[in-house]
Amino acid sequence: MPPSAPGTASCHHGAGFRRVALHRGSRKAQTVLVTGAGAGIGRELAVMLVGQGARVVALDHDERSVQQLADELSDRVLPVVADVRDRAAMAAAAEQALAWSSRIDIVVANAGVTPTAHRGDPAGRR
Protein backbone atom coordinates (compact mmCIF):
# COMPACT_ATOMS: atom_id res chain seq x y z
CA MET A 1 0.00 0.00 0.00
CA PRO A 2 1.39 3.42 -0.85
CA PRO A 3 2.10 5.71 2.11
CA SER A 4 -0.59 8.22 3.02
CA ALA A 5 -0.03 11.95 3.04
CA PRO A 6 -0.81 13.71 6.33
CA GLY A 7 -4.56 13.98 6.84
CA THR A 8 -5.46 11.36 4.25
CA ALA A 9 -6.23 7.67 4.25
CA SER A 10 -5.40 5.24 1.48
CA CYS A 11 -8.46 3.34 0.35
CA HIS A 12 -8.53 0.33 -1.92
CA HIS A 13 -10.66 1.22 -4.92
CA GLY A 14 -10.85 -1.14 -7.86
CA ALA A 15 -7.39 -1.88 -9.20
CA GLY A 16 -5.67 0.89 -7.28
CA PHE A 17 -5.81 3.13 -4.25
CA ARG A 18 -7.71 6.34 -3.76
CA ARG A 19 -6.86 8.90 -1.07
CA VAL A 20 -9.65 10.35 1.00
CA ALA A 21 -9.15 13.33 3.31
CA LEU A 22 -11.46 12.63 6.25
CA HIS A 23 -10.57 15.58 8.44
CA ARG A 24 -11.30 18.43 6.03
CA GLY A 25 -14.41 19.91 4.53
CA SER A 26 -18.04 19.07 4.81
CA ARG A 27 -19.61 15.64 4.87
CA LYS A 28 -23.17 16.99 4.56
CA ALA A 29 -25.47 14.58 2.73
CA GLN A 30 -22.97 11.73 3.16
CA THR A 31 -23.58 8.57 5.13
CA VAL A 32 -20.55 6.89 6.67
CA LEU A 33 -20.55 3.40 8.20
CA VAL A 34 -17.89 3.06 10.91
CA THR A 35 -17.13 -0.38 12.36
CA GLY A 36 -15.73 -0.48 15.88
CA ALA A 37 -17.56 2.78 16.60
CA GLY A 38 -18.24 1.95 20.23
CA ALA A 39 -14.83 3.01 21.54
CA GLY A 40 -11.41 4.37 20.71
CA ILE A 41 -10.55 5.54 17.21
CA GLY A 42 -13.90 4.44 15.77
CA ARG A 43 -15.82 6.47 18.34
CA GLU A 44 -13.68 9.57 17.83
CA LEU A 45 -14.02 9.24 14.07
CA ALA A 46 -17.81 9.04 14.40
CA VAL A 47 -17.81 12.19 16.55
CA MET A 48 -15.64 14.02 13.99
CA LEU A 49 -17.80 12.94 11.05
CA VAL A 50 -21.04 14.03 12.72
CA GLY A 51 -19.32 17.38 13.42
CA GLN A 52 -18.65 17.65 9.69
CA GLY A 53 -22.32 17.06 8.91
CA ALA A 54 -22.29 13.35 8.06
CA ARG A 55 -24.87 10.79 9.05
CA VAL A 56 -23.03 7.94 10.77
CA VAL A 57 -23.94 4.29 11.02
CA ALA A 58 -22.11 3.39 14.24
CA LEU A 59 -21.52 -0.37 14.19
CA ASP A 60 -20.08 -2.30 17.13
CA HIS A 61 -20.61 -5.59 18.95
CA ASP A 62 -21.25 -3.67 22.21
CA GLU A 63 -24.85 -2.45 22.21
CA ARG A 64 -24.44 -0.15 25.20
CA SER A 65 -21.46 1.74 23.75
CA VAL A 66 -23.05 2.48 20.35
CA GLN A 67 -26.36 3.43 21.95
CA GLN A 68 -24.53 5.81 24.30
CA LEU A 69 -22.74 7.34 21.29
CA ALA A 70 -26.05 7.84 19.49
CA ASP A 71 -27.65 9.35 22.60
CA GLU A 72 -24.75 11.81 22.97
CA LEU A 73 -24.50 12.91 19.36
CA SER A 74 -27.99 13.18 17.85
CA ASP A 75 -30.36 11.63 15.41
CA ARG A 76 -27.50 11.76 12.88
CA VAL A 77 -26.18 8.48 14.35
CA LEU A 78 -27.74 5.07 13.82
CA PRO A 79 -26.48 2.58 16.41
CA VAL A 80 -26.15 -0.91 14.92
CA VAL A 81 -25.09 -3.98 16.88
CA ALA A 82 -23.24 -6.63 14.87
CA ASP A 83 -20.12 -8.76 14.97
CA VAL A 84 -17.97 -8.06 11.90
CA ARG A 85 -16.98 -11.76 11.82
CA ASP A 86 -20.60 -12.80 11.21
CA ARG A 87 -21.62 -12.44 7.54
CA ALA A 88 -25.34 -12.77 8.26
CA ALA A 89 -25.14 -10.11 10.98
CA MET A 90 -23.26 -7.79 8.63
CA ALA A 91 -25.84 -8.33 5.86
CA ALA A 92 -28.61 -7.47 8.33
CA ALA A 93 -26.63 -4.41 9.48
CA ALA A 94 -26.30 -3.24 5.86
CA GLU A 95 -30.05 -3.62 5.36
CA GLN A 96 -30.71 -1.66 8.54
CA ALA A 97 -28.32 1.10 7.44
CA LEU A 98 -29.87 1.33 3.97
CA ALA A 99 -33.37 1.51 5.47
CA TRP A 100 -32.20 4.50 7.54
CA SER A 101 -30.26 6.18 4.75
CA SER A 102 -30.74 5.39 1.08
CA ARG A 103 -27.01 4.89 0.53
CA ILE A 104 -23.65 4.41 2.23
CA ASP A 105 -20.98 6.72 0.82
CA ILE A 106 -17.96 5.69 2.90
CA VAL A 107 -17.16 2.56 4.91
CA VAL A 108 -14.47 2.76 7.58
CA ALA A 109 -13.37 -0.78 8.48
CA ASN A 110 -12.00 0.08 11.89
CA ALA A 111 -13.09 -2.91 14.02
CA GLY A 112 -10.34 -5.12 15.33
CA VAL A 113 -10.75 -8.88 15.47
CA THR A 114 -8.87 -11.28 17.73
CA PRO A 115 -8.46 -14.89 16.63
CA THR A 116 -10.65 -17.14 18.77
CA ALA A 117 -8.19 -20.06 18.79
CA HIS A 118 -6.21 -18.45 21.60
CA ARG A 119 -9.19 -17.58 23.78
CA GLY A 120 -8.72 -18.53 27.42
CA ASP A 121 -5.00 -19.28 27.26
CA PRO A 122 -2.57 -16.36 26.81
CA ALA A 123 0.13 -18.72 25.53
CA GLY A 124 -2.19 -20.13 22.86
CA ARG A 125 -2.09 -23.67 24.24
CA ARG A 126 -5.17 -25.86 24.41
Report pLDDT digits (tens) over 66-77.
999 999 998 999
In a domain, 8, yes or no: no
Confidence of residue 55 (pLDDT cuts 50, 70, 90): very high
DSSP 53-109: T-EEEEEES-HHHHHHHHHHH-TTEEEEE--TT-HHHHHHHHHHHHHHSS---EEE-
Q: What's the pTM?
A: 0.73
| Number of domains the chain contains | 1
> What pLDDT, on the 0 to 100 scale, is given for residue 27?
72
Q: Confidence class of residue 4 from pLDDT cuts 50, 70 and 90?
A: very low
Element (H, E) at 11: strand 9-13
Structural domain for 59, as ranges: 21-111
pLDDT digits (tens, 9 = 90+) for 92-126: 999 999 999 999 999 999 998 877 655 555 555 44
In-domain check, residue 103 = yes
Could you tell me if residue 95 is inside a domain?
Answer: yes
Q: What is the pLDDT of residue 12?
A: 45
Kindly report the CATH number assigned to the domain that includes residue 73.
Answer: 3.40.50.720
Write down the mean pLDDT value for the chain.
82
95/82 Cα distance (integer angstroms) = 12
Cα–Cα dist 25/95, whole Å: 28
CA–CA gap between residue 68 and residue 30 (Å, rounded): 22
For residue 32, pLDDT over 50 is answered with: yes
Residue 15: CB atoms within 10 Å = 5
